[in-house]
Structure 1
Amino acid sequence: MADGFDGLSDKALSIFTFAAYHRLLSGERVASVIRKDGAGHEADPEGVSELEGRGLVSASDTGIAFSEAAQDFVETLIEALRGRVGR
């Protein structure tokens, strides 16, 4: 799994961070996030393009759908965050 995620830009990682935020709030696996919410919040276009180019997401004008590998990556981020709690 690491190969497709090596060297991701901060713009691409911000999209996974947003998904991790939703994962922590909901307690459920995140398969997609909103790309544009109509209130001025928008995923970085360069980050979206980078993830699409790697085959990790598919994006529409308003949403970003994560591949299985990308969903697993979000779970890995959550595990890493939890592993540092209390240190």
Structure 2
Amino acid sequence: MELDLEPWKVILAVAFAYLVIRGGLAVLRTMARPAPAPPPPGELRKVKIMYRCSVCGAEARMTAAPDEEPPPPRHCLEDMDLVAPID
């Protein structure tokens, strides 16, 4: 039984295997990166929270706050109600 392997097929297969391995390792490296440290106190953090005024129905979306669970904003001299965090 004779194997008819042409040199260009072998080179192409080795190059393809190399690219697949490099791509897989790159994906694994991005998933293995630790989460960034929280910002120092006083610096704004990204949040996505919706509030609604119980008096007039106005809505507000908060996108930045000094901490992860900020106090609700005031509208019509009342605290606004938390509608739902946007995920």
- Give TM-score, length-normalised by structure 1: 0.23
- Give TM-score, length-normalised by structure 2: 0.23
Q: Which protein is bigger by CA-based radius of gyration?
A: 2
**Greater RCO, CA 8 A, separation 6+:** 1
